């Protein structure tokens, strides 16, 4: 206990991943991970500031929060940093008109964005939407641009649902990078700008915060590179073998 007290000294804010930390998703809505509802409630009752930092890109922030609240979590939309709303702001600021390769569940986040005559591609976890035809359409849009812009909502390799492991957006992002000879702009973990935006919303400095997640690269590694402390939980897609490989 003394060792943990020393490690957590000066912490004023906690960033929580959602998928694999609070709940495992699934076609039926998924299920909360044992003890997670109670853990969030205890954090909320403490003096610590709490923010939820997710790469979820199959659901709108409203839908995700509604799902979690039905499972018993104390959470509101204003407490969630998610890549789709952040990407929407970037598109507006830069005057970008995206070709969207995204899941239908998150399209509402781009409802106010002009998608005519696209000058960039936005890719997210499209699930079954990752067909050859859809990937090839995104490829063609990029190849026809003088300065192709590919924006990816996160770059995770995979995540865990109640039915098992699921391939994530990172694999498809890499395919388009390779085919087009470009590098994607990542909005989401482990992007430093993404973590900084969450910290700004919390009103704490990086050295005063700790990130809790199940992804050794996106959650733990990304947070540590921003000067935060980080803790990997042994739920979700946690793997002793993969965690050891990622550290070396």
Token representation of residue 152:
């990816």
pLDDT in tens, 22-43: 999 988 889 999 999 999 999 9
Say whether the peptide bond before residue 190 is cis (omega within 30 degrees of 0): yes
* Residue 246, pLDDT above cutoff 70: no
Q: What is the pLDDT of residue 244?
A: 46
pLDDT in tens, 51-109: 999 999 999 999 999 999 999 999 999 999 999 999 999 999 999 999 999 999 999 99
Q: Judging by beta carbons within 10 Å of its beta carbon (0-12, 13-18, 19+), is residue 46 exposed, middle or buried? A: exposed
Would you call 216 helix, strand, or coil by DSSP?
A: helix
* Residue 240, pLDDT above cutoff 50: no
Q: What is the pLDDT of residue 26?
A: 87
* Residue 239, pLDDT above cutoff 80: no
Check if the beta carbon of residue 152 is closer than 8 Å to that of residue 146: no
* Residue 241, pLDDT above cutoff 50: no
**DSSP assignment of 217-240, as one string?**
IIIIIHHHHTT-EEEE-SSTT--H
List the domain boundaries for the chain: 8-82+190-247, 83-187
Q: Is-same-fold flag (8-82+190-247; 83-187)?
A: yes
Neighbours of 128 (CB within 10 A): 8
Q: State the average pLDDT for the chain.
A: 93
Q: What is the pLDDT of residue 2?
A: 54
User: Does CATH place domain 83-187 in 3.40.50.1000?
Assistant: yes
Q: What is the pLDDT of residue 211?
A: 97
* Residue 245, pLDDT above cutoff 50: no
CATH T-level assignment (fold) for domain 8-82+190-247: Rossmann fold (3.40.50)
* Residue 143, pLDDT above cutoff 90: yes
Say what the pTM is: 0.87
Q: What percent of the chain has pLDDT over 90?
A: 87
Q: What percent of the chain has pLDDT over 70?
A: 94
Q: What is the pLDDT of residue 9?
A: 85
* Residue 166, pLDDT above cutoff 60: yes
Query: Where residue 183 falls among pLDDT bands split at 50, 70, 90?
Result: very high
Over residues 196-212, the mean pLDDT reads: 96
Minimum mean pLDDT range among 5-14, 177-186, 217-226:
5-14
Cα 214 from Cα 16, distance rounded (Å) = 10
* Residue 178, pLDDT above cutoff 90: yes
Q: What is the pLDDT of residue 237?
A: 87
* Residue 138, pLDDT above cutoff 70: yes
């Amino acid at each position: 206990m003394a060792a943990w007290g020393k490690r957590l000294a000066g912490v004023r804010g906690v960033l929580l991943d959602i998928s694999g930390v609070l709940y495992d998703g699934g076609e039926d809505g998924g299920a909360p991970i044992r003890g997670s509802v109670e853990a969030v409630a205890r954090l909320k009752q403490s003096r610590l500031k709490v923010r939820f930092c997710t790469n979820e890109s199959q659901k709108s922030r409203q839908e995700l929060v509604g799902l979690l609240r039905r499972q018993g979590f104390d959470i509101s939309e204003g407490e969630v940093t998610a890549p789709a709303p952040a990407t929407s702001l970037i598109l507006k600021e830069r005057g970008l008109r995206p070709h969207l390769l995204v899941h239908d569940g998150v399209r509402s986040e781009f409802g106010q964005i002009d998608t005519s005559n696209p000058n960039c591609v936005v890719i997210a976890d499209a699930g079954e939407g990752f067909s050859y035809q859809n990937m090839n359409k995104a490829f063609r849009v990029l190849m026809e641009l003088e300065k192709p812009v590919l924006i990816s909502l996160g770059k995770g390799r995979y995540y865990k649902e109640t039915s098992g492991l699921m391939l994530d957006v990172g694999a498809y992002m890499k395919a388009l990078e390779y085919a087009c000879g470009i590098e994607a702009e990542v909005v989401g973990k482990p992007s430093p700008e993404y973590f900084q935006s969450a910290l700004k919303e919390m009103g704490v400095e990086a050295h005063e915060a700790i990130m809790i997640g199940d992804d050794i690269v996106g959650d733990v590694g990304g947070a540590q590179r921003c000067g935060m402390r980080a803790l990997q939980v042994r739920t979700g897609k946690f793997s002793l073998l993969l965690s050891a490989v990622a550290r070396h």
